[in-house]
Chain A
Amino acid sequence: MSNGSPRTPADPAPAALSAALPIEAGFNEELYLRLNPDVLVAVAGGSFRSGREHFERFGRAEGRPVALPAHVVPDRVMVTAEAGRIAEKPRAPGANVDHIKISPSGGIYVAGWVNDTQDQLVSVDLYFSGWSISFSAANLARVRRPDAEEAVGLLSPHHCGYWGFLYAARRLPANVCNAVVRLKSGVEMPSVVMVEGVEDDDLRSVALCGLSQAAYTGNHYFAAVQSIDAAIGTQLLAFNQMLTRRAANAPYVEYFGCANASYKASIIVCLFGKTEYMYVQQAMFARQAGIGDYEFIYVCNSPDTAEALLREARLSGLMYGLDVTIILLNANAGFAAANNLAAKHARSGRLVFVNPDVFPRDADWAAKHSAIVAGQPAEQTALFGAPLFYDDSSLMHGGMYFELDTAPSFTQGQHQETAILRVEHYGKGAPPDTVEYLRPRPVPAVTGAFISTAREWFETLGGFTEDYIFGHYEDADLSLKSLKAGRPAWLHDATLWHLEGKGSHRQPQHEGGSIVNRWLFTKLWKGLVEAEVLGPAPLHPAFGVSK
């Protein structure tokens, strides 16, 4: 065996060795197999009929040993062949392509495992009828596969697993695939894999679930972020953008209540999964003095709840009589795109983005919010948040700031460092009367659970960035866009309850989306944050007054 493809008895010998060579006198079959254990395995596995056959076809050219060294020195390594000439055949079929999933819009997902502890993975090549693709090892995510580790007898954890994702943006016919896992030694491990056809949304979920639920060596989160950095992250974003555009296309819009020609503000609520809080939220806001100045826009990312939502909206109109617009999307467009779309349907100059699990804490919240908008300088109300409180009365949110987390990782002796931004809340869990977190002030960011913004400013900023998948980090992104454009986010005294995380059902793919979003957020904002907006007391001049 030499460097190159694994060979079988049917393979021709290399050209240089094709000339018939005499067999060494006294060739000892047993000794040859003892001195060349990989050949022993290959013979046992049926690749060669005997050690002699191997020797004739390859061993001689490789300089394989046929006899014991003349002098054996105890307790010393005895070299029996010229270094580098012998390429040991992997001892077991060390790879598999478990899944190839292709979606109608050209999303391609591949996953499998390879034992490349001794021989580095180069690529996973997929050949279909009429097209092919090669996933290079550098662009594949590597994860642990404890089942493969056990199967090949690895004694320590190793990222045997791999998965790749690519968005081709075209329909790709595929039923069956010739898959080849290539190693650096030239070894190729072919297999025939039946292709699984899945819907585009489902393929996104498959990839994101894989990302969030995979096992890794080292810190799970950092390893996950690192695994998509080379290529997968960008591919997932592109794929998600396509899905977002599609989901937000041709929404169903229905108005309830008596439309008021003039509103002071539009409260926009993005729903996903749970619709029951819409009705409860309406009951809470309906008590507010001055709520007639507000319209409500509920934009729903869950078409499966459409019937229930419309029913609740009708009932709510009868019970509470608030002006409500319902926007139904045909799929989950994510927080950013859904809110941006709802903003376009707003009939006021003030947009108030509110989570479904946010409720007014004070009986005069509506009047207080209107007074802030009317009474404070425009630069302080261009975009602002408010203190939010948990159900146990402690502070949930008093503005947000950024930290940078770094972690080294060690793979095959290599040291790599990953840095990702982390969003923190001022005073999270603090007693409700902790003034330092409640006072009006500019802050690096405010949570998307409640954002009040001048519509014109929101549009100047381009709205929420729609690249983020599902939800998370769009709020910090918007805040930093506002800061960069000259108006930092503010915190004002218009307190609300926030039952954080209770307004929707969170699933593994959302965790995967969150990982991608954090990776994206870091790529977009690490430079600015590191320079001027790091920590609870950032250097940026906008926050001078906050210290």
Chain B
Amino acid sequence: MKVLLVCMYHPELVRGGSQQIAYETFEGLKNIEGVEPFLLASADHNTPAMFKSGARITGFDGRENESLFLSQGYDYVWQKCPSIHLAQAYKEFLERLRPDVVHFHHYMTYGIDYLTLTRKVLPDAKIVFTAHEFLSICALSGHMRRTDGSLCDRASAVRCHQCIPSLPPEHYFMRELWMKTHLATVDVFTTPSRFMVSHYANWGLDPAKFVHVTNGMQANTKAIETLQGKRNRFGFFGQMVDVKGLHVLLQAVGLLRAQGFTDFTVEVNGDNIAFASPECRAEIEAFVVAEEALPADARNVVFNGSYHHDQLRARMARVDWVVVPSIWWEVFCLVISEAWSFGRPVIASNVGGPAERVTEGKDGLLFELGDARALADTMRRACTEEGLWKNLAQGITKPASREEMVQGFMQIYTGKVLAAT
């Protein structure tokens, strides 16, 4: 069985959850007998060095079965790629490869209409689509978070227009029809969290076509030695973009300092601040500047920059708690899995994926989404409550492994599980 995995960005070019999961799946499928996996990952203007004159789909760094789709001129309004040459190249790529399964982990940088093209070229192939956010529903980056900061649980022409008023309600009506037209070609949808299904069902997709397949990751084989003593070291892991809520964490730090509580540290591990909004970026960068102006012994926050997966163990070793202050639904949150794999309890926002995964008081702590004061209170409790860390660390269950995830997908590829039926 040939399985083609299609993802937005190669994870080694641009880090991100969906491409990481696609790559984990690609790696995991290599170990399944009778399965030949292929990866088609995109690159765009963010990595101009990957482009070769006149080429549309190339190999990647000499790796077997890995290809790069060189996206250009992408239309983010309609989520489509205007280039006939790219579409033609993709068509020929499919015709050459003739996969039995095409598993999309994203369509951005390709186009939602590539689902239709895939069906046209491969009428008998199984098309699987894993939703890593709500981009089909929400034109505002797919986060279903409204511009007033509230979470959105119901898209509509008027509500979407309120978030992006530059386009009339009719556009969003049309966008919905357009998206659904192409999504109709998908055989099975998967989501890493169960709550996502209700969002898509409310939007009008058939919930019977959805299967929950949890995200998995390569099992951690080297446990971290657990230190004794204070549990006052917090870590942030992830992209420094608005929805990840780093600014909420930094605000909480400010509140704790204002209370005179300074016996803690926060280590920030992440990058991609270029994708943050100007306001969010300015807030974070101003904090960095102010923090670095303090004497070393007065600093609470350390910015470590980006990290490779191989560095994760070392970064995790420096913290007791992992904070997930996301201000959107955070559909799965791979960082929770990473934290748990190293025995670190999580302090997370109380909605979406984190709320589905973290059980308050058992394996982590939850706080009100976006509420810096609630986070500050939770952090102070985490630092000061005797035995809390130990109890929570003991309550952690091992996160799903890559193999479990791959088996979940294999059930779908082979037709053993066809959605809810």
Most-contacted residue by chain A among B84, B169, B181 (CB, 10 A): B84
Closest to B80 in A: A279
Inter-chain contact B78/A280, CB cutoff 8 Å: yes
* Interface positions of A from 293 to 323, Cβ below 8 Å from B: 311-312, 314-315, 318-321
B277 close to chain A: CB less than 8 A = no
Cross-chain contact of B174 among A312, A318, A320, A391 (Cβ < 8 A): A391
Question: In the complex where A311-B84, A319-B87, A321-B120 touch, is A287 in contact with B181 (Cβ < 8 A)?
Answer: yes
Inter-chain contact B84/A391, CB cutoff 8 Å: no
Chain A residue numbers with a CB within 8 Å of B91 are 318
Inter-chain CA distance A314–B84, complex, in Å, is 7
Give, as a whole number of angstroms, the nearest-CB distance from B82 to chain A: 7
Inter-chain contact B84/A283, CB cutoff 8 Å: no
Contact with A along B165-182 (1 / 0, CB 8 A): 000111101100110011
Inter-chain contact A283/B182, CB cutoff 8 Å: yes
Closest to A313 in B: B84
Inter-chain CA distance A497–B157, complex, in Å, is 14
Contact with A along B140-161 (1 / 0, CB 8 A): 0000000000000000011000
Chain A residue numbers with a CB within 8 Å of B168 are 502
Question: In the complex where A276-B78, A319-B120 touch, is A283 in contact with B157 (Cβ < 8 A)?
Answer: no
Inter-chain contact B170/A287, CB cutoff 8 Å: no
A353 close to chain B: CB less than 8 A = no
Inter-chain contact B174/A315, CB cutoff 8 Å: no
Q: At the interface, is chain B mostly helix, strand, loop or mixed?
A: helix
Give, as a whole number of angstroms, the nearest-CB distance from B142 to chain A: 19
Question: In the complex where A314-B84, A315-B84 touch, is A392 in contact with B157 (Cβ < 8 A)?
Answer: yes
Closest to A310 in B: B84
Contact with B along A165-178 (1 / 0, CB 8 A): 00000000000000
Cross-chain contact of A319 among B78, B116, B171, B184 (Cβ < 8 A): B116
Inter-chain CA distance A391–B170, complex, in Å, is 6
Inter-chain contact B113/A284, CB cutoff 8 Å: no
Inter-chain CA distance A506–B273, complex, in Å, is 40
Question: In the complex where A391-B174, A499-B170 touch, is A311 in contact with B82 (Cβ < 8 A)?
Answer: yes
Inter-chain contact A318/B78, CB cutoff 8 Å: no
Give, as a whole number of angstroms, the nearest-CB distance from A310 to chain B: 10
Chain B residue numbers with a CB within 8 Å of A287 are 181, 184
Inter-chain contact A319/B181, CB cutoff 8 Å: no
Give, as a whole number of angstroms, the nearest-CB distance from A315 to chain B: 5
Chain A residue numbers with a CB within 8 Å of B80 are 279
Most-contacted residue by chain B among A277, A287, A357, A391 (CB, 10 A): A391
Closest to A321 in B: B120
Count of B interface residues, CB-CB < 8 Å:
25
* Interface positions of A from 182 to 239, Cβ below 8 Å from B: none
Give, as a whole number of angstroms, the nearest-CB distance from B256 to chain A: 49
Inter-chain contact A315/B178, CB cutoff 8 Å: no
Question: In the complex where A287-B184, A315-B82 touch, is A502 in contact with B87 (Cβ < 8 A)?
Answer: no
Inter-chain contact B120/A359, CB cutoff 8 Å: no
Inter-chain CA distance A321–B116, complex, in Å, is 11
Inter-chain CA distance A499–B120, complex, in Å, is 28
* Interface positions of B from 47 to 96, Cβ below 8 Å from A: 78, 80, 82-84, 87-88, 91
Closest to A503 in B: B170
Chain A residue numbers with a CB within 8 Å of B174 are 277, 280, 359, 391, 499, 502
Closest to A314 in B: B84
Give, as a whole number of angstroms, the nearest-CB distance from A333 to chain B: 26
Chain B residue numbers with a CB within 8 Å of A280 are 78, 174, 178
Closest to B168 in A: A502
Chain A residue numbers with a CB within 8 Å of B169 are 391-392
Inter-chain contact B87/A283, CB cutoff 8 Å: no
Give, as a whole number of angstroms, the nearest-CB distance from A179 to chain B: 45
B317 close to chain A: CB less than 8 A = no
* Interface positions of A from 469 to 500, Cβ below 8 Å from B: 497, 499
Give, as a whole number of angstroms, the nearest-CB distance from A281 to chain B: 10
Chain A residue numbers with a CB within 8 Å of B181 are 283-284, 287
Question: In the complex where A315-B82, A318-B87, A318-B88 touch, is A391 in contact with B184 (Cβ < 8 A)?
Answer: no
B280 close to chain A: CB less than 8 A = no
Inter-chain contact A319/B113, CB cutoff 8 Å: yes
Cross-chain contact of A318 among B117, B173, B182 (Cβ < 8 A): B117
Inter-chain contact A391/B173, CB cutoff 8 Å: yes
Give, as a whole number of angstroms, the nearest-CB distance from B310 to chain A: 41
Chain A residue numbers with a CB within 8 Å of B117 are 318-319
Closest to A499 in B: B170
Give, as a whole number of angstroms, the nearest-CB distance from B85 to chain A: 10
Cross-chain contact of A284 among B78, B82, B173, B177 (Cβ < 8 A): B177
Contact with A along B212-232 (1 / 0, CB 8 A): 000000000000000000000
Closest to B175 in A: A280
Give, as a whole number of angstroms, the nearest-CB distance from A262 to chain B: 23
Chain B residue numbers with a CB within 8 Å of A284 are 177-178, 181
Contact with B along A270-298 (1 / 0, CB 8 A): 00000011011001101100000000000
Inter-chain contact B116/A283, CB cutoff 8 Å: yes
Closest to B87 in A: A318
Inter-chain CA distance A284–B180, complex, in Å, is 10
Chain B residue numbers with a CB within 8 Å of A392 are 157-158, 169, 173
Give, as a whole number of angstroms, the nearest-CB distance from A284 to chain B: 6
Inter-chain CA distance A239–B181, complex, in Å, is 45
Question: In the complex where A283-B182, A391-B173, A392-B157 touch, is A315 in contact with B116 (Cβ < 8 A)?
Answer: no
* Interface positions of B from 161 to 210, Cβ below 8 Å from A: 168-171, 173-174, 177-178, 181-182, 184
Chain A residue numbers with a CB within 8 Å of B120 are 319-321
Give, as a whole number of angstroms, the nearest-CB distance from A506 to chain B: 13
Most-contacted residue by chain A among B82, B113, B169, B184 (CB, 10 A): B113
Inter-chain CA distance A498–B208, complex, in Å, is 31
Most-contacted residue by chain A among B82, B91, B174 (CB, 10 A): B174
Question: In the complex where A318-B88, A319-B116 touch, is A502 in contact with B170 (Cβ < 8 A)?
Answer: yes
Inter-chain CA distance A399–B71, complex, in Å, is 46
Closest to B173 in A: A391
Chain A residue numbers with a CB within 8 Å of B83 are 315
Inter-chain CA distance A321–B174, complex, in Å, is 21
Chain A residue numbers with a CB within 8 Å of B171 are 502
Chain A residue numbers with a CB within 8 Å of B78 are 276, 279-280
Chain B residue numbers with a CB within 8 Å of A318 are 84, 87-88, 91, 117
* Interface positions of A from 490 to 528, Cβ below 8 Å from B: 497, 499, 502
Inter-chain CA distance A359–B173, complex, in Å, is 11
Give, as a whole number of angstroms, the nearest-CB distance from B180 to chain A: 10
* Interface positions of B from 86 to 140, Cβ below 8 Å from A: 87-88, 91, 113, 116-117, 120
Inter-chain CA distance A276–B174, complex, in Å, is 12
Give, as a whole number of angstroms, the nearest-CB distance from B179 to chain A: 10
Inter-chain contact B173/A499, CB cutoff 8 Å: yes
Inter-chain CA distance A311–B174, complex, in Å, is 21
Inter-chain CA distance A318–B87, complex, in Å, is 8
Closest to A391 in B: B173
Closest to A392 in B: B157
Chain A residue numbers with a CB within 8 Å of B184 are 287
Contact with B along A320-342 (1 / 0, CB 8 A): 11000000000000000000000
Known: A287-B184, A319-B120, A499-B174. 7 other contacts (CB 8 A): A280-B178, A312-B82, A315-B84, A318-B87, A318-B88, A318-B117, A391-B157
> What are 8 A-to-B residue pairs whose CB atoms are below 8 Å?
A315-B87, A318-B87, A319-B87, A319-B120, A357-B170, A391-B157, A497-B177, A502-B171
8 shortest interchain CB distances as A-B pairs: A391-B173, A499-B170, A314-B84, A315-B84, A502-B170, A391-B170, A283-B181, A318-B87
